[in-house]
């Protein structure tokens, strides 16, 4: 039986959970690379400096803003869970979830703007 497209998957809260999971996976994949580039400093300033210059390129800057967005949206999604699990139940969560995602996007865009 192939009934994959159940309509409750259009719910904001379901999408919030999916974004939380996907952002976590993306960050998990990114982190080892991040640590490796920082580890370049072991060999002195020059390798790290040349990496920083390389990352001045617009596309890399865009990717960095994307990473900041992922980090913020993952953290805010996690905070959403901590609130549900530890504070008294509140309605209006859909609105809060949407605001959290919006806030992450705004901050990431500000960072992007400042980089150019």
Partner 1 sequence: MRLRARSQRKVAKETTEVTTEGATKDSMSDTRSDLTVSLWRGAQQGRYESYKVPWRENQTVLDVVTFVQRHLDPTLSYRFACRVGMCGSCAMTVNGRPRWTCRTHVSSVVKDGRLKIAPLENLPIIKDLAADMRPFFDKWQRAKGAFVPARTRNDEIERIRPDGTARIAADAAIECINCGICYAACDTVRWNSNYLGPAALNRAWTLVNDVRDGANAERLQAVAASGGCHACHSHQSCQELCPQRLNPTASIAGLKRRTMWAYLKGEI
Partner 2 sequence: MNVHLYVWQRLTAALMVPLVLVHVAVIFYATRKGMTAADILARTRGSIAWASFYGAFVVAVAIHAAIGVRNVLTEWSPLKDRSAGIFASAFGALLLLLGARAVVAVVLP
Binding site residues, partner 2, CB under 8 A: 21, 24-25, 27-28, 31-32, 34-36, 38-42, 45-46, 48-49, 51-52, 68, 71-72, 75, 78-79, 82, 85, 107, 111, 114-115
**What is the residue whose two structure tokens read 């990473």?**
67
The residue from 25, 60, 63, 81 that contacts partner 1 (CB under 8 A) is 81
Closest by CA position to 19, among listed 62, 65, 90, 76: 76
Span of 1-9, 44-52, 60-68, 102-110 interacting with partner 1 by CB under 8 A? 1-9
Q: Does residue 68 bind partner 1 (CB under 8 A)?
A: no
Helix (H), strand (E), coil (C) string for 14-73: HHHHHHHHHHHHHHHHHHHHHHHHHHHHHHCHHHHHHHHHHCCCHHHHHHHHHHHHHHHH
d(CA 116, CA 112): 7
* Nearest-approach distance from CB 25 to partner 1, in angstroms: 14
**What is the residue whose two structure tokens read 């900041």?**
68
Q: Does residue 1 bind partner 1 (CB under 8 A)?
A: yes
Q: What is the size of the binding site for partner 1 (CB under 8 A)?
A: 19
Using CB under 8 A, list all residues that contact partner 1: 1, 3, 5-9, 11, 13-14, 17, 21, 80-81, 84-86, 89, 93
């Amino acid at each position: 039986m192939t009934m994959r497209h159940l309509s409750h998957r259009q719910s904001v809260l379901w999408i919030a959970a999916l974004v939380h999971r996907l952002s976590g996976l993306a960050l998990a994949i990114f982190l080892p690379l991040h640590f490796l580039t920082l580890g370049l400093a072991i060999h002195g300033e020059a390798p790290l400096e040349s990496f920083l210059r390389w990352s001045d390129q617009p596309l890399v800057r865009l990717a960095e803003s994307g990473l900041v967005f992922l980090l913020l949206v993952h953290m805010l999604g996690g905070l959403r869970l901590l609130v549900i699990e530890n504070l008294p139940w509140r309605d209006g969560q859909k609105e809060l979830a949407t605001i959290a995602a919006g806030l992450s996007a705004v901050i990431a865009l500000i960072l992007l703007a400042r980089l150019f």
